[in-house]
Amino acid sequence: MTIDPITFTLVLALAALSGALGSAVGMAGGVFLVPVLTIVGGVPWETAVAVSLFSVVASSSAAAPAALAAGLPNLRLAVTLEVATVLGSLGGIALLGLVHERILYGVFAAVLIVSAVQVLKRRHARTETASRGRDWGARLRLNSTFRDDGDVRSYVVRRVPTGLTVMFGAGTLSALLGIGSGVLKIPAMDMTLGLPIKVSSATANLMIGVTGCGTALAFLLRGTVTPLLAASAVLGSVVGSMFGARLLVRVPASILRTAMVVVLAVLAVPMTAFAFVAA
């Protein structure tokens, strides 16, 4: 695929915007970049997914330091969940090429809509402050605290086995769709595990880099990566993600939740339409 200077610059700018939006809500830029590359740029699906995964790794790496400095990610939980996510991504790589593009667009649209609905549902306040000894959250010492608006708040990690199952599915879709799986991880952490939105966003952003690294390497070995296009996406993602990570630390959780729902809903429209017209 031939890349001219205009295309290089356009992809760089779009990747920067995608990286800023993605790291601010913990989804990386893949969920925004893939629709743009395929629908607007006419890039083949596998190439767009491969390029997106490289940008996912870059944006995750760029955004992680700011989130870690603020103490938002739950590192112990990230390592636990990443085991299931990596296993799922291996399954997704095996399925790639066997699933029709129209189905992939449809699945992507469904993922966006379901995630938007889940994020929109505000969780009811819970009175529990500690989990029982038999709970996985307590056994694995996953319960933790984070700082929000100057206050230190504690939270309890619930339904860990269910969370691991969802993460396996998120890893599979990450390899198939090139989305970094943060689009699924954040709602799962928010709704299933009961994490605060800032903690789930920061933890998901840290995890997607690990998942994306392995799957991006697999695409590189398959020969589906356009180096110049990937370089443009990576440069833009790094710049955008550094800015987005600072937004995550400073912007109120309610605004993050609203922004996430709006972006997911808007992206679902063209992906749904393309599911019916893809060759």
What is the DSSP track for 38-67?
A: IIIS---HHHHHHHHHHHHHHHHHHHHHHH
Q: What is the DSSP letter of 125?
A: P
Residue 73 scores a pLDDT above 80: yes
Range with lowest mean pLDDT among 70-74, 92-96, 123-127, 132-136: 123-127
CA atoms within 13 A on the CB side of 39: 19
- Which pLDDT band holds residue 128 (cuts at 50, 70, 90)? very low
Cα–Cα distance between 235 and 126 in angstroms, integer?
A: 42
* Span 169-198, average pLDDT: 74
Question: What is the average pLDDT across 121-145?
Answer: 62
Length of the chain equals 279
264 or 31: whose pLDDT is higher?
264
> Per-residue pLDDT for 279 more than 70?
no
pLDDT band at residue 6 under the 50/70/90 scheme = confident
Mean pLDDT of 101-111: 78
User: DSSP 3-state assignment of 153?
Assistant: strand
Range of the domain at 67: 5-275
pTM of model > 0.85: no
How many domains does the chain divide into?
Answer: 1
For residues 196 and 18, the model is more confident at 196
Band the pLDDT of 119: cuts 50, 70, 90. low
Percent of the chain with pLDDT over 70: 80
Distance of CA 102 to the CA centre of its chain: 22
pLDDT at 124: 41
C-alpha to C-alpha distances, 224 to 46, 68, 273, nearest whole angstrom: 7, 33, 25
Distances from the Cα of 211 to the Cα of 42, 82, 266, angstroms = 26, 7, 26
Of residues 185 and 76, more confidently modeled: 76
255 pLDDT band (50/70/90 cuts)? Answer: confident
Which residue spans within the chain are E strands per DSSP?
A: 144-148, 151-155
Helix axes 197-222, 5-25, angle to 10 degrees: 140
Mean pLDDT of all residues in the chain? 75
Q: Closest Cα to residue 30, out of 48, 12, 13, 47?
A: 48
Distance CA 84, CA 239 (A): 30
Higher pLDDT, 13 or 111: 13
- pLDDT for 200-248, tens place per residue? 878 887 887 777 777 777 777 777 777 888 888 888 878 887 777 677 6
**Nearest CA among 183, 146, 144 for reference residue 167:** 183
Lowest mean pLDDT among 27-36, 142-151, 154-163, 171-180: 27-36
Q: Identify which has the larger pLDDT, 257 or 54.
A: 54
Decide the pairing of beta strands 151-155 and 144-148: antiparallel
Instruction: Give me the mean pLDDT over the 260-275 stretch.
Output: 77
Instruction: Judge whether residue 130 has pLDDT over 50.
Output: no
Q: Greatest CA separation found in the chain?
A: 60
Distances (CA, A) of 37 to 56, 198, 224, 239, 266: 14, 29, 14, 19, 16
Q: How confident is the model at residue 29 (pLDDT cuts 50, 70, 90)?
A: low
Position 23 scores a pLDDT of: 66
Q: Looking at the predicted structure, is the pLDDT value of residue 127 above 50? A: no
Q: Give 198 or 181, the one with higher predicted confidence.
A: 198
Alpha-carbon dihedral sign for residues 137, 164, 15, 31: negative
Q: At what angle do helices 45-69 and 197-222 cross, to 10 degrees?
A: 140
